[in-house]
Amino acid sequence: MKTYAEFLNSKQFKIDCDGIAEPYAISDALFDFQRDIVKWALRIGRCGIFADCGLGKTIMQLTWADNIPGKVLILAPLSVCEQTVAEGQKFGIDVTHSKDGSATEHITITNYERLHMFDASQFDGVVLDESSILKSFTGKTRNALIDSFNRTRFKLACTATPSPNDYMELGNHAEFLGAMTRTEMLSMFFVHDGGETSKWRIKRHGQSDFWKWLCSFCVMMRRPSDLGYEMGGFALPDLHYHDIRVDVENTSEFLFALEASTLRERLTARKDSVKERAAKCAELINGSDDKWIIWCNLNSEQDAIKSRLTASCVSIAGSTPEKKRLELTQSWMDGPVKVMVSKPSIFGFGMNFQHCANMAFLGLSDSYEQFYQAVRRCWRFGQLNPVNCYVVTAHTEGAVVANINRKDKDATNMAENMVHHMHKINEKNIKQPQKVSKSEYHPVAVSDGDWCCINGDCINEIVNLHDGEVDFSIFSPPFASLYTYSDSERDMGNSRTYSEFYEHFAFIVEELLRVTADGRLCSFHCMNLPTSKTHHGYIGIQDFRGELIRMFVDAGWIYHSEVVIWKDPVTSMQRTKALGLLHKQIVKDSTMSRQGIPDYLVTMRKPGENKKPVSGKLDHFAGDPSTIQYTGDKSIDIWQRYASPIWMDINPSNTLQKKTARENDDERHICPLQLDVIERCMQLWSMPGDLVLSPFAGIGSEGYVATRMKRRFVGIELKKSYWKCAVSNLREAATMASQDMLL
């Protein structure tokens, strides 16, 4: 069985090196940062390289593949395959381009569309070139890649900066590389604000560990200096955008042509303005002696511009045969042809067109990634001239360029944010991978009279209590909800699975049994937990209460009693928007409708005879946190109410002030145990002078009531802001208790 220290160590995120050790065969022609990244990637074995265009991803992935024992398959866009073969020849690395599913050589490359021809099990390693193809988490290609190479030991995913729109692409990369499923990543590190249009964002408490986790299998760089290397010749030239708006004939029923506002309207405006846009684009290019590339979105745009160009040009469409495509491309890159006309979907990924510094977008799709990648074919490291990018649109298309600029700003901000969080860890890991460790443990205790409150780990601190010293324990246990309250591995909520949570919680269950006096009780307040499709794959309820009961019984406790605490389902529906509580669901399909989830107060008893009976009248604590009133000899009336298996009269708002304890908006709302519940438990199962324990003290609710009712109290709380609030509440309770005695 693990010790507690060993268990905590197992909860930490570590860099899992499952690759191969040195020596490596790496060409001296690689730059320092390229060599170090390749060595790191070989040590890791399954990793991602997010390097901006022109930083040499092709030679890095080829060198990686060359060092992998066994066969390696490289998957790439069709237009990139021959370029990769040529790049390998420059560095003495043989790469075979296979179009029929055969793979007899060490390194084979093929395009993604031919994946179904290959038997993934015959490869020891796989490389995804332009791995942003994984971004579509519902796509068939994404699923095929993950499923086909699920058992492949060595994996490398290479792309430029991931999608600027959200973090889903990172989750898909993590799933392909075997680091974590996309669903697990969302559950662990992200929070969703609700609503169909809302996006996932990183939990504040989870940010540090998220970036550490990501750096354990990915390296992110926009320039060599991001990883502490000299820039050398890696400096981008200026990029100049030119927004050209074309007037078109008004064919609408309105006096003035209206700008498009919807996707359908934009498509219509583009189709209706092909001739005017093509004529304007031709004016830019005719008479120029420079090389140009014209990006189109529609076949009609390609035909229109080709017919208007006087300069020599080639036009490459999706239907152009592969051999002819290569010949035409070569005639433009190295031959006399001045202009190439094509689409981003054909040449927008992976190609090196640094020989060209002029481009025009005659047509645009609504994909920012396609636009970004097309621009980076020319504007990339190795380009020696300023790059001019002309965007030709009709005035009826709407704010197309403004949308591009907005998305470009979003992409830049996300990339810079990723580099900001990752570069120090990446730089350290690439030079020498190290385990991620947490800060040292330093508990703090405050005591005053008959109470003591400790800021620390309850499992570490409860060992200081003597066997049988505690008369009664009461608390609300945490549950698995990662990074809700803190980023500490000592936080039981920071568990990747419920199994890990229960393994953690088992330590405190055993200690509670040891410190509790024979025949005395321990009460915990809990509820069953709803599941969701996003986090669990299904909508239902987890029997959290039952699991806790089984844990206590297995540890040697006796299942003593249980009471249901009624909660208003309307209030729960308004707060959680749970599908099963919505009225529209019972109208639509009531098989998914359910009752509200109540709270439970479960009480366990330690075996043995209680040597200090809890006897006498039941004194009534009226429920107002500021006063205690004694009702006299009404113990029978009180007992009849307390003995009910359902407590319908608990005031849900009768709790201690909690706002000051929260540190940020991402933090789950603190739900202190109602003072009514604590008071009844104290009356039923403890006496003045008894020692009450709360191992999860929170803001000190249990201690507040215990102190007001003349019990001694020990509370332990891991989160510092909660602990400070608890100390303040305990001091207030002690003052009130002393004043009551004076009265």
In the chain, what are the domains? Answer: 45-221 (3.40.50.10810), 239-400 (3.40.50.300), 444-742 (3.40.50.150)
Q: What pLDDT shows up at residue 544?
A: 94
What pLDDT score does 137 carry? Answer: 47
Strand partners, 393: 245
421-430, 596-605, 624-633: which is most confident: 596-605
Weakest mean pLDDT among 118-132, 171-185, 417-431: 417-431
Q: What is the pLDDT of residue 556?
A: 98
Structure tokens belonging to residue 688: 């003045």
DSSP-derived 3-state class of residue 613 = coil
Q: Flag whether pLDDT at 554 surpasses 70.
A: yes
**pLDDT of 622 higher than 50:** no
Task: Compute the half-sphere exposure of residue 346: CA atoms within 13 Å on the CB side of its CA.
Answer: 23
Interval 305-318 mean pLDDT: 91
Per DSSP bridges, beta strands 558-565 and 599-605 are antiparallel
CB 87 within 8 A of CB 34: no
Q: What pLDDT, on the 0 to 100 scale, is given for residue 581?
A: 85
Beta bridge partners of residue 542, listed in sequence order: 529
Rounded Cα distance between 506 and 514, Å, is: 13
* Position 438 pLDDT exceeds 60: no
Is the model's pLDDT at 181 over the cut of 70?
A: yes
Residue 324's CB is within 10 A of a number of other CB atoms, namely 11
Res. 254: pLDDT tops 50 = no
What per-residue confidence (pLDDT) applies to 549? 97
Predicted pLDDT of residue 123: 96
pLDDT over 90 for what percent of the chain?
48
The per-residue pLDDT for 518 is 98
What is the three-class DSSP state of 155?
strand
pLDDT at 742: 45
Sign of the alpha-carbon torsion through 722, 725, 727, 730: negative
pLDDT in tens, 258-269: 555 566 777 777
Give the pLDDT of residue 629: 41
Q: Which of 4-8, 298-302, 397-401 has the lowest mean pLDDT?
A: 397-401
Peptide bond into 625 cis (omega under 30): no
Determine the Cα–Cα distance for residues 58 and 127; give it in Å rounded to an integer.
Answer: 10
Average pLDDT over every residue of 667-693: 86
| DSSP reduced 3-state for 628 | coil
The first and second tokens of residue 545, run together, are 């209460």
Helices (H), 603-712: 635-642, 675-685, 701-708
CA–CA separation, 610 vs 516, rounded Å?
Answer: 11
Residue 47 has pLDDT above 80, yes or no: yes
Q: Cβ neighbours of residue 304 under 8 Å, at least 6 residues apart?
A: 274, 275, 277, 278
pTM for the whole thing? 0.65
pLDDT of residue 246: 87
Residue of higher predicted confidence among 139 and 93: 93
What pLDDT was estimated at residue 261? 56
CB 687 within 8 A of CB 614: yes
Kindly state the DSSP code that residue 380 receives in the 8-state scheme. S
Residue 508: predicted pLDDT: 97
State the pLDDT at residue 234: 82
Q: Is the pLDDT of residue 198 over 70?
A: no
pLDDT digits (tens, 9 = 90+) for 293-303: 999 988 999 99
pLDDT range class, residue 38, cuts 50, 70, 90: very high
- Cα 311 to Cα 282, 289, 332, 443, distances in angstroms: 9, 8, 12, 77
Farthest-apart Cα atoms in the chain, separation: 107
pLDDT category at 389 given cuts 50, 70, 90 is very high
Tokens 């060359």 map to which residue? 66
The 3-class SS string of 82-130 reads HHHHHHHHHCCCCCEECCCCCCCCCEEEEEHHHHHHCCHHHCCEEEEEC
pLDDT on residue 624: 47
**CA 393 to CA 244: how far, in whole Å?**
6
Alpha carbons 75 and 159: distance in angstroms, whole number: 12
More confident call, 203 vs 551: 551
pLDDT on residue 502: 94
Please report the pLDDT score of residue 196 as a whole number: 45
pLDDT band at 12 (very low <50, low <70, confident <90, very high): confident
Q: How far apart are CA 216 and CA 17, in angstroms?
A: 9
Residue 451, φ and ψ in degrees, nearest 5? -130, 155
What pLDDT is stored for residue 251 in this prediction?
Answer: 52
Name residues whose C-beta falls within 8 Å of residue 739's C-beta, 6 or more positions apart in sequence: none
Name the percent of the chain lying above pLDDT 70. 87
Quick one: average pLDDT of 77-92?
90
Highest mean pLDDT among 11-15, 170-174, 487-491, 720-724: 720-724
* Cβ proximity of 68 and 123 under 8 Å: no
What number is the average pLDDT over the span 96-116?
94
Q: Sorting pLDDT into bands at 50, 70 and 90, what band is 363?
A: confident
pLDDT band for 658, please (50, 70, 90 cuts). Answer: low
| Each residue's pLDDT tens digit, 567-614 | 888 888 877 778 888 888 888 999 989 998 999 999 999 999 999 999
Is the C-alpha dihedral spanning 663, 668, 674, 679 positive or negative?
Answer: negative
- Give me the mean pLDDT over the 38-51 stretch: 92
Confidence check: pLDDT of 152 > 90: yes
Query: Which residues are 73's β-sheet partners?
Result: 108, 126
Mean pLDDT, residues 715-726 taken together: 94
- Report the pLDDT averaged over residues 136-165: 80
Angle (deg, nearest 10), helices 32-44 and 57-67:
40
Nearest CA-CA partner of 44 in 20, 80, 26: 20
- 516-527 and 470-475: which strand pairing? parallel
Q: Give me the pLDDT at residue 398, please.
A: 64
Predicted confidence at residue 57, as pLDDT, reads 92
361, with CB counted inside 10 A (0-12, 13-18, 19+), is buried
Write down the mean pLDDT value for the chain: 85
Q: What are phi and psi of 235, to 5 degrees?
A: -135, 130
